[in-house]
Amino acid sequence: MEIIDMPTSSTENSVQIKVSKIDKSRIEEVDFNNIPFGKIFSDHMFVVDYKDGQWNDPEIRPFGNLSLSPAISALHYGQAIFEGLKAYKDGSGNVSVFRPLDNHTRFNSSAKRMCMPTLPEGLFMDALNQLLTLDREWVPPVDGCALYIRPVMFATTAEIKVKTSEEFKFAIMTCPVGPYYPKPVRVVIETHFARAMEGGIGYAKAAGNYGAALYPAQQAQERGYDQLIWTDSKEHKYIEESGTMNIMFVIDGKLHTPSLETNTILEGITRDSVIRIAESKGIEVLERRILVEELVDYCRSGECTEAFGVGTAATLASIATIGYNGEDFDLPPIGDDSISTILMDELSNIRTGKIRDEYGWMMPIS
Ligand SMILES: *Cc1c(COP(=O)(O)O)cnc(C)c1O
């Protein structure tokens, strides 16, 4: 294994990241035209440990297992958070990451809610930049594919006691990925289980939120749906989000999406991007509390013409059917002039450099 010290790119408080390169890349084994989501990892990962009040010895090394005590508090008490973002290749092979600073901000907001240390912006960005420089070949050159980037932080103090950990590990791993949902999805409005409650951790990308969502999602799958639409935990009267995506509806040609005032909805970066693109195209956007009954009426009357989930993993997932109280509402098929197609195309064109990024969303990898 070759060991080199790469000076970090920018900023005053930039750090030395130790780099140990893999002997032989595994990239030859990957078929970029047929990649399962989240199962194939690029050659390298970034790791850094938090101890004695600071982040120490950042390192890029071959992707591989960690050795940890079974007593680490992340496993017992759930101090674990993550992020998800993507890197894209443009036509000339240049690699850029989509809105990484926003993921960094949200990561630190999740960290605060979970009593975990925040990560300095310089460290996050340098780690990302160096990791992707090293593994740039892993960004798929194929349309509709990207390199999914998964930062994660978890508590590593080995002590059986409910209290905040003193030690943490932060890592970044990456996976080349293709489309998440191959075809439009069937979703069902959940009226019994809840994902998040007011005052809880719904707005944080905290691991426990996802563990708790598995059982309700499995129940929905047994009833023939792909995913749930979550509603508020108190009355199940208001629409919140869908699985791990924010949700949007086209009603009478306007874009409607649940507002974020309750702190129970994850503030998606794709959501924000789609809203801004819609506004730039003169589409009226309404961020508001959306009643389940109201949505069902709009589906029944045909005024709701499109529904879709938006998130980094799935990008934009069209919804074909919405189930509620034993009834299924089928939405019209999506065409080239559907609002969701227009928004999705614009977003992919920005990401792959086909049109100018007037928002400053893409961060090029040096
Ligand atoms: C990550 C996530 C989203 C989407 O956020 P993006 O920043 O667009 O990827 C939506 N809902 C939940 C619950 C999530 O975990």
| pLDDT at 9 exceeding the cut of 70 | no
Domain with CATH 3.20.10.10 in the chain: 185-351
Q: 185-351 maps to which CATH number? A: 3.20.10.10
> Over 60: is that where the pLDDT of 261 sits?
yes
Nearest CA owner, ligand 1 atom 12: 244
Point out the ligand 1 atom lying closest to the alpha carbon of residue 106: 7
**Topology, domain 2-178:** D-amino Acid Aminotransferase; Chain A, domain 1 (3.30.470)
What phi and psi, each to the nearest 5 degrees, are found at residue 245? -130, 150
Q: What is the mean pLDDT of residues 123-134?
A: 97
Q: Would you state the structure tokens that stand for residue 44, as one six-digit string? A: 């390298």
If you measure from the C-alpha of residue 170 to the centroid of ligand 1, how many angstroms do you get, rounded to a whole number? 20
pLDDT for 182 equals: 81
Measured CA distances, 8 to 12, 127, 128 (Å):
10, 8, 11
Contact 95, 136 (CB under 8 A): yes
User: pLDDT digit string (tens) for 52-105?
Assistant: 999 999 999 999 999 999 999 999 999 999 999 999 999 999 999 999 999 999
Question: pLDDT tens digits, residue range 318-338?
Answer: 999 999 999 999 999 999 999
| Predicted TM-score (pTM) of this structure | 0.95
Residue-wise pLDDT for 174-216, tens only, equals 999 988 888 999 999 999 999 999 999 999 999 999 999 999 9
Q: What is the mean pLDDT of the chain?
A: 95
143 pLDDT tier (thresholds 50, 70, 90): confident
Whether residue 7 is predicted with pLDDT greater than 70 in this model: the reply is no
Residue 245 three-state SS: strand
CA of 112 to the centre of ligand 1 (A): 18
C-alpha angle with apex 118: 86 to 131, nearest 5 degrees?
35
Q: How confident is the model at residue 251 (pLDDT cuts 50, 70, 90)?
A: very high
**Which residues are registered as beta bridge partners of 173?**
150
Q: Which amino acid is at 153?
A: M
**Rounded to the nearest whole angstrom, what is the distance from the C-alpha of residue 18 to the centroid of ligand 1?**
31
In degrees rounded to 5, what are phi and psi of residue 212? -70, -20
Which helix or strand (DSSP H or E) is residue 133 part of? helix 121-134
Percent of the chain with pLDDT over 70: 96
Mean pLDDT (whole number) for 5-17: 58
Domain ranges in the chain with CATH number 3.30.470.10: 2-178
The response to whether residue 117 sits with its C-beta less than 6 Å from ligand 1 reads: no
Residue 10: pLDDT band (50, 70, 90) is very low
